[in-house]
Structure formats: C-alpha cells, structure tokens
C-alpha cells in the first residue's frame, strides 16, 4: 500500500495506512518502534518485519515476543525477501553500512525513529529540537525544566529521558523537548519542530558519517523544514564558527525567503551589544553586565545574573541562553523562565561535583567524550588548579587544542586507557620553555584516580574529563562516571576512617 492514501484526523503527517513496515536494528529505539508497530498490525500496518541484526539472548527473547504478535524477525545475514513501504532505522546503524543500504534498497522510504515519532504525534503538540556536538543534554533538560516550572506538561526525550516514540505513544505531554543526534537527523525527511536549537558543530562521530562535511550536513537538517511550521523559530549560537556561518546565510536570505524567525546567541566578548546588527535579526540572546538577556518579538527580558545559575562555566551560560530562548519562543513568561533558571541543578556526568576530600574537589565530567567537551571543562575552573584525567578509547581527533588548553589551564594531566600512548606523546612533544604542566600515565581509570589523589593538594581539583569514549573499560560514559564517583566516596571513607583511628590513638596516649 502507498503511504499517501490519507492522513489520520488531527495528525498532519500520520498516514491512515503505513503498509509494509521494516524495523532496522534492535537498540532502544528499535525495540520501541517494534512494540509500537506491532500494536498497529491488522489496522494501519499490513506486515511488520524486524531486522534484529546480531543474534543474542536478549534479541532472541524480544524477537519471540514480537513473533507472537505477528511480526517476522530476521537475524544476522538473513535477506529481506520482500519490499517495504516504510523502514524505521535505529540511529546506531550508519547510512554507509551494508545493513542500512540493503534496507534502503528494499524500502520506498527510510527514516529515523524520531521522525516516525514526530509523524505519529497529534498536530496540537509542540516540539523543541535541540542539537549540537556538546551541551545538548543539559540544554534539553533545562528547556524541559523551564516548561515544567511554568506548569506545562513537558517530556524530555530522544537521547535523554524516554525514547521519543514511547513518549509520544503515551500521549501525556503537550511539549516534547527532544535531544536529537546527528545519527537521528541524518535520516530525517519531513521533521520540522516548532523551535530548532543549534548549539555548536565541531568534529565528532567521523567513523559513522565518514566526513566532517557529512556530519555538518546532518546537524543542519534540524533547520531544513522550519519554513513549513507556522511561527517556527531557530535558536542559533553565533559564537560557534560553523553555526555563525549559518546565521550569515539566514541573514542573507531575508525574511520572505527564509520563512521562519531566528534568535542568535552571543556570550563571547564583542557579541553582546552588537548582536542584532551583526546577525540581521531583531532578536538576540546575550550577556549584558553579567545578566542573561533575551530580546524576542520586540520585548527585552533580563532574566538572571550569571552568579544565580547553579550550573557553572561559560558553556552553561550559552546553554541557559539557548534553553531560555527556546521556551520564550513558545510563550513561556520571563518570570517563569527566570525562576526555572535559578532552580536548575547540574546534570550527572557533566562537570558534576563528586565531593571534596582533604580540601581537594573532585568533578565528574565523564560525558566529555571528545576534545571540545573537555576544552569547555578546562575553562570552568581557575587556571593552574586542575589535575585532569584524560583517556579511554581514542576517537583519533586532533589533540593540539587539548594540549594547548591544558598547558594554559591545568597543573597536571594523567593519561590512561587505550588512548594513553598517543595522548602522552602529544603532551610531551614540542614542550615550550617555561611550561609547568606535569604529564603522567596510568593503565586504567583506577590507577589514574589513585595517582591523582597522591598528587592533589588542598585547593586543587581532580577532574575526570576524558576527551575519549569509554568503551575500552566501560559499557558507557555513565558507568565510567559512576565508577569515578564510587572511587571518590571510597577515598573519602578511607580518609575519614584514618582520621578516626588517629584521633583514637591520640586519646589513648
């Protein structure tokens, strides 16, 4: 059956008939799509095939449940034996893989789970989509928090919170704030949120996209269809070089050709007072005398002072301006935004305070899986105060900016894991005269942590900000961060126990 035989009432993009559907991959989004589509068999879906990929106990158990509901499940290299009207692809499957290409050849259309969720959502719901190489999780959580502070029903979804389709199926939220990755955007066709937030674009995920240009193209797809949505707004961080080029392109288009409004963000020196003139928009979000200011639709709102934010660092000022702009654009009052900004606490694994032991502060920034994220962490602390744990599974990106920033901001780095050798070589090559940065190496995170505890002095900090993936030792960055926090707690307990023992011995004497 063709997919354009008519739409469901109250849905702008949900066909009454989806025809023959293929689910590609059985990650979290693949399972959610499978369960959702299995419920439509016999009504909107004629047949459902699930290409599960690798055979394992978990996939086989889920596959058996789906087969009971009428789906056909394929494993390993079983071939597609029919054609499909729609394929819903899991984000972990690269468009360059044979698995994806074979599904694409067998399907009339192939889209991401997020696009499918958006199509299946009633047209009276409001979507805010947030993307960027770094900062998108914090900004997504903060935007959802601001909506909830205003008394609105909001669901943070996508890479954060529930799988997008699962949340949409519950029909419990009026606002969906979706953290959307380049993987998910790469397969979008019609996806058009009410507000699109583009934070920054720096090299990442090159093994999936094959080139930085393809990665940039995927990120920019968040803006591709905004002109189709009445009153749509783009929020763009003009302090990022690639995003700034997009702002210039939108400025050149003019209002008539562009088809949507935009709010440029600037927090760097020189981008505040002149934001509107530089970016060609009557809107702007920026710092003015350490106050967060958003100008939108002719109204200027001074929201909070920087020192009122619980989330610290210049990067979080940008994140706060982006989140505030996104919800002001959908009608939340400045009073509610200000209150929500003051109340929002830091997220786990993102420059998260993990405790203070003997005057040494410990911070968990395990989410920093690339160089640019770690550069942000360097700038969040006083120069010369940090001992930084770097390493894990190397992404092969340029380390020169990391080395330069560490030499300017840190007193020591400890390189560990699979990336250790390349990192140590980078830090010990071409050392300028007078450089005081100490460079150490360790086999694993445990060894690096113990070394840092030995080196650290009161007033300094130990920062886990690896600039690498976690998969050499851990299943995910969350496990790595939780392990670091456990090390801190154990260290604190050990120090406290030693102190009690010494006090007891002193009393006996």
Query: Which of helix, strand or coil describes residue 149?
Result: helix
**Tokens representing 178?**
């979706």
**Tokens representing 326?**
């996104």
Instruction: Report pLDDT for 464.
Output: 98
pLDDT score of 508 more than 50? no
**Tokens representing 98?**
């044979």
Please state, in angstroms and as integers, the Cα–Cα distance from residue 320 to each residue in 141, 146, 210, 294, 337, following that order. Answer: 10, 10, 32, 11, 10
Q: Tell me the mean pLDDT in the region 361-369.
A: 95
- What percentage of the chain has pLDDT greater than the value 90? 66
Q: Tell me the mean pLDDT in the region 479-505.
A: 84
pLDDT score of 78 more than 90? no
Q: Which DSSP letter does residue 290 get?
A: T
Burial class (CB in 10 A: 0-12, 13-18, 19+), 177: buried
Phi-psi region of 494 (alpha: psi -120 to 50; beta: other; left: phi over 0): alpha
pLDDT score of 276 more than 70? no
**Tokens representing 343?**
């109340």
Per-residue b/e over 22-54, b at no fewer than 16 CB within 10 Å?
Answer: bbbbbebbbbbbbbbbbeeeeebbeebbbbbbe
Q: What's the mean per-residue pLDDT of the chain? A: 90
Task: With beta carbons less than 8 A apart as the criterion, state whether 87 and 103 touch.
Answer: yes
pLDDT score of 255 more than 50? yes
What is d(CA 414, CA 409) in angstroms, rounded to the nearest whole number?
Answer: 14
How, if at all, do strands 299-305 and 261-266 pair?
Answer: unpaired
Closest to 146 in 3D by CA, of 368, 337, 287, 295: 337
Domain 352-496 in the same topology as domain 122-343:
no
How, if at all, do strands 352-357 and 299-305 pair?
Answer: unpaired
Please state, in angstroms and as integers, the Cα–Cα distance from residue 312 to each residue in 38, 63, 73, following that order. Answer: 45, 45, 48
Query: Which of helix, strand or coil describes residue 47?
Result: strand
What CATH class is the domain 352-496?
Answer: alpha beta
Half-sphere exposure of 213 (CA within 13 A, CB side): 0
Domain segments of the chain as ranges: 19-108, 122-343, 352-496
Q: Tell me the mean pLDDT in the region 94-99.
A: 86
288 φ/ψ angles, rounded to the nearest 5 degrees = -135, 110
Q: Report the CATH number of the 19-108 domain.
A: 3.40.50.720
Domain 122-343 has CATH 3.40.47.10: no
Residues 6+ positions from 369 with CB-CB distance below 8 Å: 392, 395, 466, 467, 468, 469, 470, 477
What is d(CA 470, CA 472) in angstroms, rounded to the nearest whole number?
Answer: 6
Task: With beta carbons less than 8 A apart as the criterion, state whether 50 and 23 touch.
Answer: yes
What is d(CA 6, CA 412) in angstroms, rounded to the nearest whole number?
Answer: 63
Instruction: Report pLDDT for 1.
Output: 34
> What torsion do the CA atoms of 424, 426, 431, 434 make, to the nearest 10 degrees?
-60
**Claim: this prediction has a pTM higher than 0.95:** no
Q: Tell me the mean pLDDT in the region 213-218.
A: 82
Condensed to tens digits (0 to 9), the pLDDT of residues 142-170 reads: 999 999 999 999 999 987 778 899 999 99
Closest to 322 in 3D by CA, of 463, 177, 207: 177
What is d(CA 216, CA 246) in angstroms, rounded to the nearest whole number?
Answer: 11
What is d(CA 272, CA 306) in angstroms, rounded to the nearest whole number?
Answer: 15
Task: With beta carbons less than 8 A apart as the criterion, state whether 332 and 301 touch.
Answer: no
Query: What is the rounded end-to-end Cα distance, in angstroms, of the chain?
Result: 89
pLDDT score of 113 more than 50? yes
Sign of the four-CA dihedral 188, 194, 197, 198: positive
pLDDT band at 509 (very low <50, low <70, confident <90, very high): very low
């Amino acid at each position: 059956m063709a997919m354009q035989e008519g739409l469901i009432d109250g849905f702008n993009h949900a066909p009454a008939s989806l025809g023959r559907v293929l689910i590609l991959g059985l990650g979290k989004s693949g399972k959610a799509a499978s369960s959702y589509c299995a419920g439509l068999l016999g009504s909107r879906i004629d047949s459902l095939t699930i290409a599960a990929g690798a055979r394992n106990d978990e996939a086989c158990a889920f596959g058996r449940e789906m087969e009971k509901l009428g789906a056909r499940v394929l494993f390993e290299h079983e071939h597609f034996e029919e054609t499909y009207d729609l394929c819903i692809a899991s984000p972990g499957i690269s468009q360059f893989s044979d698995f994806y290409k074979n599904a694409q050849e067998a399907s009339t259309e192939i889209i991401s789970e997020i696009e499918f969720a958006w199509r299946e959502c009633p047209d009276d719901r409001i979507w805010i989509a947030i993307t960027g190489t770094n900062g998108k999780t914090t900004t997504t959580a903060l935007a959802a928090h601001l909506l909830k502070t205003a008394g609105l029903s909001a669901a943070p979804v996508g890479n954060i919170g529930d799988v997008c389709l699962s949340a949409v199926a519950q029909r419990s939220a009026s606002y969906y704030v979706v953290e959307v990755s380049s993987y998910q955007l790469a397969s979008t066709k019609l996806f058009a949120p009410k507000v699109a937030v583009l934070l920054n674009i720096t090299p990442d995920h090159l093994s999936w996209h094959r080139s930085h240009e393809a990665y940039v193209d995927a990120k920019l797809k968040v803006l591709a269809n905004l002109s189709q949505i009445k009153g749509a707004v783009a929020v763009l961080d003009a302090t990022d070089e690639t995003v700034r080029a997009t702002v210039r392109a939108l400025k050149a288009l003019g209002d008539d050709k562009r088809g949507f409004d935009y709010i440029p963000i600037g927090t760097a020196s020189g981008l505040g007072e002149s934001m509107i003139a530089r970016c060609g928009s009557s809107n702007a979000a920026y710092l003015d005398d350490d106050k967060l200011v958003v100008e939108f639709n002719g109204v200027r709102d001074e929201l909070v002072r920087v020192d009122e934010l619980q989330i610290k660092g210049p990067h979080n000022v940008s994140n706060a301006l982006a989140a505030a702009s996104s919800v002001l654009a959908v009608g939340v009052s400045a009073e509610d935004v200000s209150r929500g900004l003051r109340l929002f606490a830091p997220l786990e694994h993102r420059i998260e305070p993990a405790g203070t032991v003997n005057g040494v502060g410990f911070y968990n920034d395990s989410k920093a899986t690339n160089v640019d994220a770690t550069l942000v962490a360097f700038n969040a602390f006083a120069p010369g105060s940090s001992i930084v744990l770097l390493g894990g599974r190397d992404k092969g990106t340029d380390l020169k900016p990391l080395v330069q920033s560490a030499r300017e901001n840190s007193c020591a780095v400890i390189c560990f894991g699979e990336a250790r050798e390349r990192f140590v070589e980078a830090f010990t090559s071409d050392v300028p005269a007078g450089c005081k940065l100490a460079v150490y190496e360790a086999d694993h995170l445990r060894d690096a942590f113990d070394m840092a505890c030995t080196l650290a002095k009161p007033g300094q900090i130990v920062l886990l900000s690896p600039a690498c993936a976690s998969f050499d030792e851990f299943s995910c960055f969350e496990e790595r961060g939780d392990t670091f926090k456990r090390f801190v707690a154990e260290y604190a307990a050990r120090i406290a126990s030693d102190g009690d023992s010494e006090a007891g011995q002193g009393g006996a004497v």
